[in-house]
Chains A and B, each alone.
Chain A
Amino acid sequence: MPDDLVFFLIQVLNGVQYGLLLFLVASGLTLVFGIMGVINLAHGSFYMMGAYIAFSLTALTGNLWIAILLGVPLAALVGFALETLLFRHLYCRDHLFQVLLTYGLILVLEELRSLAVGDDVHGIAVPKLLDFSIPLTGALSYPVYRLAMSLVCLAVATGMALLIQRTRLGMTIRAGASNREMVEVLGIDIGRIYRLVFAGGVALAAFAGMIAAPAASVYPGMGNEILIISFVVVVIGGIGSIKGAFLGSLLIGLASTFGQVYAPESAGMAVYLVMAAVLLWRPTGLFGRIS
């Protein structure tokens, strides 16, 4: 194969990989909105938190796998606590107060991070097991770690789809999204469902941060960056739609990767242009319910 074509295919792989990673963050955001009706600006901070947890625990234990195994339940616990302390008070409130509270939460989480680990940029070594590349042509190769990331993200996405579509818990979650009162009348503790969904969303975002850490770097602004891109994904896919979040993530992953390769000057704008185009065509996103 000519180098140009291989290069193009590598970019496609990179775009899909970034898109799948985005999906882990955006799916939590869209679920929390679709089910609880809460817009959570602090969702990106959970991604940042995950990366820093991975960094700290890897430094402590010397092993990324152990760091992830310990870190994900830790993140879920944080999500559980935040739901109990703060977010449950937001369900019936105007979006305005949700924006206000979650913005305050960003400030708190960022400064706690600054106090605990500092403001430096860090890197995490790729685990030895995956630290090699597949040679494609004489000059080009593809790192296995990125491939593994894509596979893990795909597995998580499939698991989530099965959970929501095929299990009793998933059925309850879907029911709660469409009619909260009815679910409560049927004797189901909706508060427990909300806590589970919220903790799950936090764990997913943190997990995304953990596996992304070795491929990129760990830096203070990473949470806000992914938050805003996730918003774009959710807007494109339609708020509350997992399917939409999946397609939106891939679209944005590809647009952003190709933008960086072929038009680095205006790469930052590429994803927003995609969003504007989708909005012109469908104001409620690809799979959005018409409100």
Chain B
Amino acid sequence: MSRGAAQGAFVVLALAALTLFPLLADAYQLQLGAKIMIWAIFAMSLDLLVGVTGLTSLGHAAFFGIGAYALLVLSPEYAPANFWLALLVAVAAAALAALIIGLLVLRTSGVYFIMVTLAFSQMLFYAAVGSKALGGSDGASIYVRPSPDLWGWAPFNLANRVHFYYVVLGALALTYMLLHRLARSLFGHVLVGIRVNAHRMEALGYPVFRYKLAAFVLAGALAGMAGLLDAAQFGNVTPELLGWRQSAQALLMVILGGMGSLSGPMLGALVLTVLQELLGDLTRHWPLPLGLVIIVASLTLPRGLSGLWARGEAPPRG
């Protein structure tokens, strides 16, 4: 079997497993499954920057948080927001923020880029903390789930755990397809070229800055969608969703899972979220063992978990 066919078979199997999962899962597992898939969307969007384009962002939660806050702003206190409108606004707002922030941060590179992306997400964090309308440092709750009303017809009900799970699965599948196609397009190849050697791409006549900006905006938009889903699942929107720990968590998933492939960030989201749940059941001090695992992994797994069975050199980064 060729590599492409093997990969295709794997994707079909994984999709089938995810589709059948609600038949076996209890309420808690169903919720955990949806949570993992939301993290997976977020991590894949970050990987477009980190693994594909070679831009190590430590502020990607800014766009995740914007998506979550978009739902909060659109939700009336005792009535549902329209899901489709919220989705549109969340993605558009995150993309717009990514455009503005991208214009500034993409002027820098390397370690500057890490620090500056971090600083801009913190700026939004403090903006949310300082805003009474958004609930300040405690955040605010969404009491009624958004309704996917289309001219009086609702195709699903987000308050239903199983429905919500399938909606998130649909979003995950769409994100995967989009990023998969993108990786095989000219656009995707140019992004990889920028990661390996930006100067050469510039010399070949590609407007490197504009390509980077486009990737940054696309990644931000997808993160905004993930943030919206997160807010719709838990109904809690706090400044922490914009905070740097949220960004670091996604970056961890990307690196631990294996960057530059779509399966890597998804694997990272699965392993890290499950690991946290398990350790959290064992001890209140779960960050201690988790931190040790992260330290050991960073020293021993240069290609992440998915690199364990893939051979060869680590992907070059310029």
Contacts and interface: CB of A to CB of B under 8 A. Distances in A.
A267 B169 CA distance: 40
B21 to A, nearest CB: 30
B98 to A, nearest CB: 15
Interface residues of B, number: 44
Interface string B43-58: 0000000100000101
B130 A268 contact: yes
Interface string A67-78: 000000000000
B130 A39 contact: no
B104 A280 contact: yes
A80 to B, nearest CB: 18
A235 B112 contact: yes
A4 to B, nearest CB: 26
Given A103-B248, A111-B291, A231-B119, A266 B130 contact: yes
A11 interface: no
B56 to A, nearest CB: 5
A97 B255 contact: yes
A95 B291 CA distance: 18
B317 A94 contact: yes
Nearest to A236: B119
Given A279-B104, A283-B108, A101 B299 contact: yes
Contacts of A106: 291
Contacts of A280: 104
Contact of B112 (A97, A101, A110, A239): A239
A99 B287 contact: no
A273 B127 CA distance: 11
B288 A96 contact: no
Contacts of B171: none
Nearest to A29: B115
B302 interface: yes
A228 interface: yes
B120 A272 contact: yes
Interface string A221-242: 0001000100110110001000
B143 interface: no
B280 interface: no
A283 B103 CA distance: 12
B287 A107 contact: yes
Given A33-B111, A104-B295, A231 B288 contact: no
Interface string A261-280: 00001111100110110011
Interface of A: 33, 39, 41, 86, 89, 94-97, 99-101, 103-108, 110-112, 114-115, 224, 228, 231-232, 234-235, 239, 265-269, 272-273, 275-276, 279-280, 283-285, 288, 291
Given A110-B287, A272-B123, 9 more contacts: A96-B255, A99-B58, A99-B248, A100-B294, A107-B290, A232-B119, A268-B130, A272-B126, A275-B119
Interface of B: 50, 56, 58, 104, 107-112, 114-116, 118-120, 122-123, 125-127, 129-130, 244, 248, 251-252, 255-256, 259, 285, 287-288, 290-295, 297-299, 302, 317
